[in-house]
A and B are shown apart, each in its own frame.
Chain A
Amino acid sequence: MTAVDDEFERDSTDLLQFLYACPVGLIRADATGGITMLNPVAMQLLLGLGSVSQSMNLFAAIEAYAPELRHVVSDFGAEQGQICQGHRLFVGRSQGGKTEIPLVLACTIVKLNKDQLIVTLEDISERVAQERRLKQADAWFSSLLNAKDDFAILGLDLDGRIQTADAAVLLQTGFAEHDLVGNHISILDRPDPASSSMSMPDEIACAHRDGWHLAESWSALRNGGRYRCHRLISVRGDESGAGQQVVGYTAVLRPVAQSRMDSDKIRRRLTTDHLTGVCNRAHFFDIAEEELRRCLRTGRPVGLISLDIDYFKLVNDTHGHAVGDQVLKMVASACAAVLRPIDTLARLGGEEFTAMLPGADAVLTSTVAETMRSAIASASIEVGGTDLHVTASLGWVVGSAATGSLADLVQQADRALYTAKRSGRDRVVEGRPVSPVA
């Protein structure tokens, strides 16, 4: 071997070690997602996503978590350039089950030429968890630590009827005291007609359950207009006795700057599934984690339903993707109609949906699941003059203080769902009940 070869060999070994040790997943793929090069961290992250070892295809590996990425890449018209940066994949389960934090990956894709992509993957679970904590703290601080005179305070009775309204309420809303007192607080609520925000009775129910409820919402003005506000509802206890008897509620309204209206639009885009309008995967794991924690803290159960449309691939293959999309919308709206406002319906990917039912026990959860099944089976869409029917398979489980993480719950519901598939589809199967803590 010549000296030049030697030096070349050393250089390339050096370079390889550098890439091996790179703490970020690094992948080179062709336009169809076929992986041609990758470093150890990338392999490890992909293995965590499931069966990448068979396909060695990037899009197949992340299909279940970010089905949109395949299209984002194929829709990218330019010869080269950055396709996405830090796109978040919410995997929602962590291998080994040691952490409750959903695994979140940030994915950046750069197109080098028409058949070459450079992709980085990074585990940002910790960062996302921290962001969530900060966001929560931020909402608290902004609504509780601001100047006192920003606050409008209403006293409510157990039914949510306004008993008292301080001067700031009258200033903020323009209403006179006699316009408000005696009326239900709902008269101050002016939600967007299309929004899925909670109704005032729902917010009060949540406050009753958890001690408080904080929302950003629209409040009515006397002149027919409305303004954006933070609305905190907290329970008022019986102070005379030692008991925790709830005797009424205190509602605190605080106006927020109009600039938040844009953030509303952005939030909607970030939190909803573009096709069906239900909650998207990322947002689901966000709120479901929180909801589960809340339910476990208060000792209340929480129902979880997994749903998968039967033979959906066949629908797509036979009728095309446009019809497939229609079916997805139909299923989403059939399910949404069955759920309560405090429930969450999410599309987790492909033809897979999940519903979370805070406070729902086994009877309610199984009833809702069965109602969903029959609603889907009896609905239809028109395709070329004939009615197209689909069915779905469902699995459900109820979590309680004794159950594990959200990932465990989802997994149990998924298992029941597969049992439903195996035993003939168009049916509801109960997840294996979790053994109570001894």
Chain B
Amino acid sequence: MSSDQNAFDFATITLADLDRLDSTVINDLSFGVVGLSPEGLVKVYNQTESRAAGLSLDSVLNTHYFATTAQCMNNFMVAQKFEDEPTLDTTLDYVLTLRMRPTPVKLRLLKGSAAPLRYILILRSK
């Protein structure tokens, strides 16, 4: 693993980093990265997330994330926060229900006032 990748970890990576990094680096991050357009359509879906969720990039890209892929985040704790807050950088303990299995994760929600994409970072415990 290159030192460059180590520089980006779940807790410290910034919106600017996410917008700037090319897709190979994003794909190799150790945590899931989901980037959404202001309308909620999936624009970034990294390989880590794709593997963990068992969903191909093609099946997810440009779909409405909260309505189709992640109904379990379509609530006041996640989806609503993106609507309510002008900017966002918050980390929370959460439980995903992927394939009906309770999966404890840490979520980090990122939204800038001018940035084109909002991000959900998903850290699964090993």
* A positions within 8 Å CB-CB of B: 16, 19-21, 28, 35-44, 47, 52-54, 56, 95-96
Contacts and interface: CB of A to CB of B under 8 A. Distances in A.
B76 A96 contact: yes
A28 B101 CA distance: 10
Given A53-B104, A96-B76, A16 B99 contact: yes
A41 B76 CA distance: 13
Nearest to B77: A47
B97 A39 contact: yes
B94 interface: yes
A420 B97 CA distance: 38
Contacts of B96: 43
Contact of A21 (B71, B97, B101): B71
A53 B71 contact: no
A48 to B, nearest CB: 8
Interface string B97-117: 101111010000000000000
Nearest to B104: A53
Given A36-B101, A40-B97, A43-B102, 5 more contacts: A20-B72, A38-B100, A39-B97, A43-B72, A47-B77
B77 A35 contact: no
Nearest to A95: B76
Q: How large is the interface on B (under 10, 10 to 19, 20 to 34, 35 or more residues)?
A: 10 to 19
Interface of chain B, helix or strand or loop or mixed? mixed
Contacts of B77: 47
Contacts of A21: 71
A-B complex: 8 closest residue pairs judged by Cβ atoms: A40-B72, A40-B71, A37-B100, A43-B97, A53-B95, A53-B93, A44-B75, A96-B76
Given A20-B71, A42-B97, A43-B97, A56 B102 contact: yes
Contact of B75 (A19, A47, A54): A47
A55 to B, nearest CB: 10
Given A20-B71, A47-B77, A95-B76, A39 B102 contact: no
A52 B97 contact: no
A100 B101 CA distance: 33
B106 to A, nearest CB: 10
Interface of B: 71-72, 74-77, 80, 93-97, 99-102, 104
A36 B74 CA distance: 21
Contact of B97 (A38, A95, A96): A38
Nearest to A56: B102
B41 to A, nearest CB: 19
Contacts of A96: 76, 80
A40 B71 CA distance: 6
A347 to B, nearest CB: 29
Contact of A16 (B94, B95, B100, B102): B100
Contacts of A47: 75, 77, 95
21 contacts: A20-B97, A36-B102, A37-B100, A38-B97, A39-B97, A39-B100, A40-B74, A41-B71, A43-B72, A43-B95, A43-B96, A43-B97, A43-B102, A44-B72, A47-B77, A52-B95, A53-B94, A56-B95, A56-B102, A95-B76, A96-B76
Chain A CB within 10 A, most for which of B77, B80, B95, B97:
B97
B71 to A, nearest CB: 4
Contacts of B72: 20, 40, 43-44
Contacts of A52: 95
Contacts of A38: 97, 100, 102
